[in-house]
């Protein structure tokens, strides 16, 4: 094939691939074509001649004894007798030596052209998919946006993201969301796969906690600049979320910076999540204090940690006044579920004996209990 270097330049430019990668792809395509046209069991190699701008295909031939049975078998073309090799190739050749003979693919006519075209198309497409796979594999957990191109009968949403089409499954869509063709939506990359039959698959999610974290990164400069860190997050999509925040600067309040003046920052994120309520909590590495904060808006008296058994998650026994139990549990158990998700502890609620408080206000006794707890652990 003439002008192979021009073809390589054109393909590299059109597909956005490195030239060396395209060269290897074409060489593989020629080798596979030779296997299909001649014999799939033979060993082949391909080389590009920079001067003539052509590509040559070679078959590896092995030297064997004159009476070797391989010379009479189905793969006889892959071998040459010692006497013939000495006479025609090299007088110093020995049994076991290998050399290459050139095959002209073009002599096979239209069949060769059609086969080569399919092989080149296949291998170049695989290279493109591998490049896209590597690109988007690095984007797992990050935010992307695109235009809706289709919504199927199962309510899976197909989105055009740059040069690929991604899918937002119905299960990864916030309850109550509906999209139509032409809408522009944002989501995080959840998973990237390459399937030999259908190519690259990019799955998006709007229900992942990472989606919440990436939206906060967009709205809160302190988070984007890593002045405030999102240590942990948990969501029940479309209903409520809890995020644990830690400041790396002594003069920056992580909760205040995230909420913003009059809640403008957190409300912008909540609006994107269909009104999902977001609780912002200051993170601490002391589990007792962290759990006490995470149980907000309930006011608790004490937390006792117990190690889990047989691989189970550790347990946190939370003691609280009777009138705070409903707040700790939350509507349909949402508050305690999120608290458990965020902390990693199985939370057990125990009502304080003799509790007579009927309001949700912080009594002086409760204030002393929390103060004593924080003083005990230096927070």
Per residue in 90-130, pLDDT (tens digit) is 788 888 888 888 888 878 888 888 998 999 999 998 888 88
Domain boundary among 86, 109, 135: 135
More confidently predicted of 286 and 83: 286
In this prediction, residue 377 has a pLDDT band, given cuts at 50, 70 and 90, of very low
Q: Residue 236 sits in a domain of what CATH number?
A: 3.30.300.20
Q: Are residues 10 and 130 in the same domain?
A: yes
Q: How many CA atoms, within 13 angstroms, populate the side-chain half-sphere of residue 173?
A: 17
Query: What is the pTM (predicted TM-score) of this model?
Result: 0.73
Which pLDDT does position 2 carry in this prediction?
56
Average pLDDT over residues 182-204: 89
Q: Residue 185 sits in a domain of what CATH number?
A: 2.40.50.140
Distance between CA 59 and CA 78 in Å, rounded?
8
* Lowest mean pLDDT across 87-96, 126-135, 216-225: 87-96
Domain boundary among 205, 221, 239: 205
Q: Are residues 102 and 199 in the same domain?
A: no
Place of tokens 């395209």: 22
Please provide the DSSP assignment of 143-177 as one string: EEEEEEEEE-TT--EEEEETTEEEEE-GGGS-TT-
Average pLDDT over residues 243-249: 96
Domain boundary among 205, 236, 259: 205
More confidently predicted of 79 and 258: 258
Q: Are residues 239 and 290 in the same domain?
A: no
Which pLDDT does position 265 carry in this prediction?
96
Q: Residue 79 sits in a domain of what CATH number?
A: 3.30.1480.10
Q: Are residues 150 and 201 in the same domain?
A: yes
* Lowest mean pLDDT across 289-293, 315-319, 321-325, 363-367: 363-367
Q: Are residues 253 and 158 in the same domain?
A: no
Which residues pair with residue 63 across a beta bridge? 80
**How far is CA 46 from its chain centroid?**
36
Which pLDDT does position 307 carry in this prediction?
86
Q: Are residues 194 and 217 in the same domain?
A: no
Which residue, 335, 317, 241, 223, is CA-closest to 279? Answer: 241
| 8 Å CB contact between 99 and 61 | yes
Which pLDDT does position 233 carry in this prediction?
96
- Reading the block at residue 8, the tokens are 């390589």
Q: Are residues 290 and 278 in the same domain?
A: no
Which residues pair with residue 47 across a beta bridge? 56
Give pLDDT tens digits for 362-374. 344 444 544 554 5
User: 378 pLDDT exceeds 90?
Assistant: no
Q: Are residues 43 and 121 in the same domain?
A: yes
Mean pLDDT of all residues belonging to the chain: 86
Q: How many domains does the chain have?
A: 4
* Lowest mean pLDDT across 72-76, 114-118, 140-144, 263-267: 72-76
Q: Are residues 18 and 93 in the same domain?
A: yes
**How far is CA 105 from its chain centroid?**
42
Residue 316 burial by Cβ neighbours in a 10 Å radius (0-12, 13-18, 19+): buried
Please provide the DSSP assignment of 274-337 as one string: TS-EEEEEE--S-HHHHHHHHTTTS--SEEEEE--STTPPPEEEEEE-GGGHHHHH-GGGHHHH
Q: Are residues 279 and 291 in the same domain?
A: no
pLDDT above 70 coverage of the chain, percent: 92
Using DSSP's 3-state secondary structure scheme, residue 273 falls into: coil
Q: Are residues 290 and 365 in the same domain?
A: yes
Q: Are residues 100 and 17 in the same domain?
A: yes
Average pLDDT over residues 262-267: 95
Which residue, 220, 255, 213, is CA-closest to 235? Answer: 213
More confidently predicted of 24 and 308: 24
Which range marks the domain in which residue 326 is found?
Answer: 286-379
């Amino acid at each position: 094939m003439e002008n192979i270097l021009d073809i390589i330049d054109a393909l590299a430019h059109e597909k956005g691939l490195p030239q060396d990668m395209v060269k290897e792809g074409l060489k593989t395509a020629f080798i596979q074509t030779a296997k299909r046209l001649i014999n799939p069991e033979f060993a082949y190699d391909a080389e590009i001649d920079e001067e003539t701008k052509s590509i040559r295909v070679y078959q590896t031939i092995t030297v064997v004894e004159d009476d070797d049975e391989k010379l009479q078998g189905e793969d006889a073309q892959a071998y040459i007798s010692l006497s013939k090799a000495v006479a025609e190739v090299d007088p110093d050749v020995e049994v076991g030596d290998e050399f290459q003979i050139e095959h002209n693919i073009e002599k096979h006519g239209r069949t060769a052209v059609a086969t080569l075209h399919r092989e080149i198309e296949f291998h170049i497409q695989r290279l493109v998919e591998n490049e896209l796979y590597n690109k988007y594999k690095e984007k797992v957990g990050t935010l992307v946006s695109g235009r809706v191109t289709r919504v199927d009968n199962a309510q899976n949403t197909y989105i055009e993201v740059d040069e690929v089409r991604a899918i937002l499954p119905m299960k990864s869509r916030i309850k109550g969301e509906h999209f139509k063709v032409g809408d522009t939506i944002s989501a995080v990359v959840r998973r990237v796969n390459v399937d030999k039959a259908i190519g690259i698959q990019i799955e998006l999610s709007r229900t992942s906690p990472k989606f919440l974290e990436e939206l906060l990164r967009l709205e809160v400069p302190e988070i984007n600049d890593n002045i405030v860190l999102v240590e942990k997050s948990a969501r029940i999509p479309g209903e409520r979320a809890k995020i644990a925040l830690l400041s790396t600067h002594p003069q920056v309040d992580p909760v205040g910076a995230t909420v913003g003046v009059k809640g403008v920052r957190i409300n912008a994120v909540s609006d994107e999540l269909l009104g999902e309520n977001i609780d912002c909590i200051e993170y601490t590495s002391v589990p007792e204090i962290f759990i006490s904060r995470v149980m907000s808006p309930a006011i608790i008296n004490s937390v006792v940690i117990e190690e889990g058994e047989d691989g189970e998650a550790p347990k946190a026994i939370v003691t609280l006044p009777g009138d705070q139990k409903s707040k700790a549990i939350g509507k349909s158990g949402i508050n305690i579920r999120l608290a458990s998700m965020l902390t990693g502890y199985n939370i057990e609620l125990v009502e304080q004996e003799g509790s007579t408080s009927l309001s949700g206000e912080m009594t002086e006794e409760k204030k002393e209990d929390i103060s004593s707890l924080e003083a005990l652990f230096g927070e």
